[in-house]
Structure 1
Amino acid sequence: TACARIGTSLLHARPYDAPARGKMERFWRTLREGCLDFLGPVASLHDVNVRLCAFLDAHYHVTSHAALLGATPRTVFEAAPRAP
């Protein structure tokens, strides 16, 4: 339901598909090293969400990715056609 509301598809990697799993593992590693390891004391889940959104907007979405042939996730997302 959440994916349908924002217009995305949820895809799961096939079992034993190392290249597909590696992309997610790399994402979680990048997230942990760039954001989660530096959270420090947080008072609420809202604080974590604010810091996560700041990390994604300031770093992750604007950094070129090898899997996207050097493009940024933001430019790829914005260039994709929208389904009604």
Structure 2
Amino acid sequence: MAGYSWPKYPPCARASCTEPECCTQGGMAVWAELQGKQASEAKAAIEKQYPWVTVVILPKDDPGSFDFCCNRVFLFINSNGQVVNVPQIG
């Protein structure tokens, strides 16, 4: 998204957004194609597209955080380092 960004996480930034698409003003906010990829590959792809996003890598059983942040993406991984969720901003 050219010319648009949020401050780096933390802290959490969201303005009035409650949905991923709001954070990117209609740009890509969900990466279904990264599910099953290695975490390092997924992290690099997301951060290349949105340098202002912090990608947080967690074990698949970790609950993460329940607050919605426009400047964060959780990657939940299995024991092989593969992404098990569909990554999305939030």
Q: Tell me which protein shows more strand as a share of its residues.
A: 2
Q: Which has the larger radius of gyration?
A: 1
Q: Considering Cα pairs closer than 8 Å and 6+ residues apart, tell me whether 1 or 2 has the greater RCO.
A: 2
Q: Tell me which protein shows more helix as a share of its residues.
A: 1
Q: With the length of structure 1 as denominator, give the TM-score of the two structures.
A: 0.30
Q: With the length of structure 2 as denominator, give the TM-score of the two structures.
A: 0.29
